[in-house]
Amino acid sequence: MTAPTLPRLSREVRLAAVPEGLPRPEHFRVVEQPLPVPGEGEVLVRNTYFQVFPALRILVAGGAEGAPFPGLGPGDTLFGPAVGEVVARPGTAGPPVGSLVSHFLGWREYAVVPAEQCVTLDDGALPDPAAHLSQGSLAYTALTRVAGLRPGETVFVSGGAGGIGSVAGRIAGLLGAGRVIGSTGSPAKAERMTHGLGYDAVVLRNPEHSFSDRLAEAAPEGIDVFVDMVGGEQLRAAVRAARPGARFVLIGTLAGQLSAKGGGATAPVEIDTFQLVVKRITMRGISGADHPEAQAEWTRTFGAWLRSGEITFPHVRIAGIHNAPAALRALMDGQHLGTVVVEL
């Protein structure tokens, strides 16, 4: 394959200043730099899509102890999941020119990626290449590998309108759940969740009403599986609503990440451990690096569901890297439903 003509410059998003509280567009700057040149064992990827995700709050605040990725300082380029095309490969290592790949060096138009950090994607596996940025694999892994969802069980998904939650409801139903309940803070999102995203009921966050009481109304017989993206009071309410033998899978801590206080790296909550004991509740945290064997299975299953119309990929596309900082702020403010993708 003939190598494409490459530009002289590439744009990327850098952290300009460490924010106090939630990040705003003025904490970032989009800069031009000479096109990076790959060395032996590296490939140059022209990014076509990258994902905007809430955990960036932790990274731009300097990171957190035990986190899988380092924190960022002023002048550092942001990073995150991306999909793109290999446009240069000086050696023989890694995917050849023209390959569709995923990697973790988003937030830039062109990325030099170590060959071993590129995952070659089947160009026809999913109807839309951007769907490779869906976080549905985490929900699928939580339900199939960790919680062991059984037919007819009741599932509660906190943060049901986010990147993971927006597909978790439909996944749970397709895997045999009898009733699927989600949570959100937006009536408009709640309407969307129950009309197209697979949720039978949605619990709205409202400071004037007890979340625990509202969850009990939505699940009068209790919950069997909890997929948690939020933590905080919703985790506490799930303990109260749990049936004997319930399984909790903790994926995110949006209660901490979206708080204006602190750096987003903590999400303390007081729960009744007596209830954990007497109800024999199991609780396990997972990350995207767990169960790598499930990724290929998920991609095949997701592709089949997309083509059959049994599931969708709820997402928002933001055009242009110059709009990425504002997209992050909008995500933090809860303006979007589903995965937020920047298209280059």
* Residues 6 or more apart whose Cβ sits within 8 Å of residue 115: 41, 42, 43, 89, 93, 94, 95
- Nearest by Cα to 86 from 25, 147, 6, 24: 6
pLDDT tens, position by position, 211-229: 999 999 999 999 999 999 9
Please give the backbone phi and psi of residue 286, each rounded to the nearest 5 degrees, phi first.
Answer: -135, 160
| Res. 2: pLDDT tops 90 | no
pLDDT tens, position by position, 135-161: 999 999 999 999 999 999 999 999 999
Residue 265's pLDDT band, with cuts at 50, 70 and 90, is confident
Name the amino acid, one letter, at 293: E
What pLDDT is stored for residue 12 in this prediction? 98
What pLDDT is stored for residue 62 in this prediction? 87
Please give the backbone phi and psi of residue 188, each rounded to the nearest 5 degrees, phi first.
Answer: -65, -40
- Nearest by Cα to 269 from 212, 191, 343, 192: 212
| Res. 281: pLDDT tops 80 | yes
pLDDT tens, position by position, 52-74: 999 999 999 888 777 777 889 99
Q: What is the DSSP string of 278-327?
A: HTT-EEEE--TTS-TTHHHHHHHHHHHHHHHTS----EEEEESGGGHHHH
Please give the backbone phi and psi of residue 254, each rounded to the nearest 5 degrees, phi first.
Answer: -60, -25
CA distance 81 to 339: 12
Q: pTM of the prediction?
A: 0.94
CA distance 57 to 72: 10
Rounded mean pLDDT, 188-209:
94
pLDDT tens, position by position, 154-188: 999 999 999 999 999 999 999 999 999 999 999 99
pLDDT tens, position by position, 224-256: 999 999 999 999 999 999 999 999 999 999 998
